[in-house]
Amino acid sequence: MEERVIEELSEMLRGRVVVSEEELRTKAIRSALRVLGFGAVNFGRENLNEVVCSFIDCPITIKSLHFSEKVEVNGISFYHLHTVKPGREDFLKAYEEYVNARSFLENLENMVSSLDSFFEGYRSEGAFLKIYSNRSRYSVFFTTIRDAFEDIDVHLDLSSNFNGEYVIAVKVEEKPDEFIKFFKFHSEKVKRAGAKVWVVNPQKKSVDPFIGYPRDLSLISRFRNPKFATVINSLWRTKVEEID
Looking at the structure, do residues 119 and 215 belong to the same domain, yes or no?
Answer: yes
Domain count, the chain: 2
Q: Do 28 and 120 sit in the same domain of this protein?
A: no
Spatial separation of the C-alpha atoms in residues 60 and 88, rounded to whole Å: 30
Q: Are residues 183 and 230 in the same domain?
A: yes
CATH number of 28's domain: 1.10.3400.10
Domain shared by 83 and 122, yes or no: no
Asked whether residue 93 falls in the same domain as residue 184, the answer is no
Q: What percentage of the chain exceeds 90 in pLDDT?
A: 89
Asked whether residue 90 falls in the same domain as residue 128, the answer is no
Task: Give the CATH number for residue 232.
Answer: 3.40.50.10670
**In this model, does residue 130 exceed pLDDT 80?**
yes
**Residue finishing a domain among 63, 78, 107:** 107
- For residue 238, the model assigns a pLDDT of 47
pLDDT value at residue 231: 83
Share of the chain above pLDDT 70, in %: 97
- Separation of alpha carbons 16 and 80, rounded Å: 9
Same domain assignment for residues 82 and 171? no
> Is the pLDDT score of 67 beyond 90?
yes
**Of the residues 51, 73, 107, the one at which a domain ends:** 107
Find the domain containing 211 and state its range.
109-243
The model's pLDDT over 145-201, given as tens digits with 9 standing for 90+, comes to 999 999 999 999 999 999 999 999 999 999 999 999 999 999 999 999 999 999 999
Predicted confidence at residue 64, as pLDDT, reads 93
* Domain match, 80 and 123 both: no
Report, in angstroms and rounded to the nearest whole number, the Rg of the chain calculated over CA atoms: 19
Digit-coded pLDDT (tens) for 185-196? 999 999 999 999
What secondary structure, in 3-state letters, does the chain show? CHHHHHHHHHHHCCCCCEECHHHHHHHHHHHHHHHHHHHHHHCCHHHHHHHHHHHHCCCCCCCCCCCCEEEEECCEEEEECCCCCCCHHHHHHHHHHHHHHHHHHHHHHHHHHHHHHHCCCCEEEECCEEEEECCCEEEEEEECHHHHHHCHHHHHHHHHCCCCEEEEEEECCCCCHHHHHHHHHHHHHHHHCCCEEEEEECCCCEEEEEECCCCCHHHHHHCCCCCHHHHHHHHHHHHHHHHC
pLDDT for the residue 237? 65
Same domain, 102 and 121: no
My answer on whether 128 and 94 are in the same domain is no
68 and 167, same domain (yes or no): no
pLDDT tens digits, 194-231: 999 999 999 999 999 999 999 999 999 999 999 888 88
Is the pLDDT at 234 greater than 80, yes or no? Answer: no
pTM of the predicted model as reported, rounded to 2 decimal places = 0.94
Helix axes 21-36, 88-118, angle to 10 degrees: 60
Residues 117 and 53 in one domain: no
Domain end position, chosen among 92, 107, 122 = 107
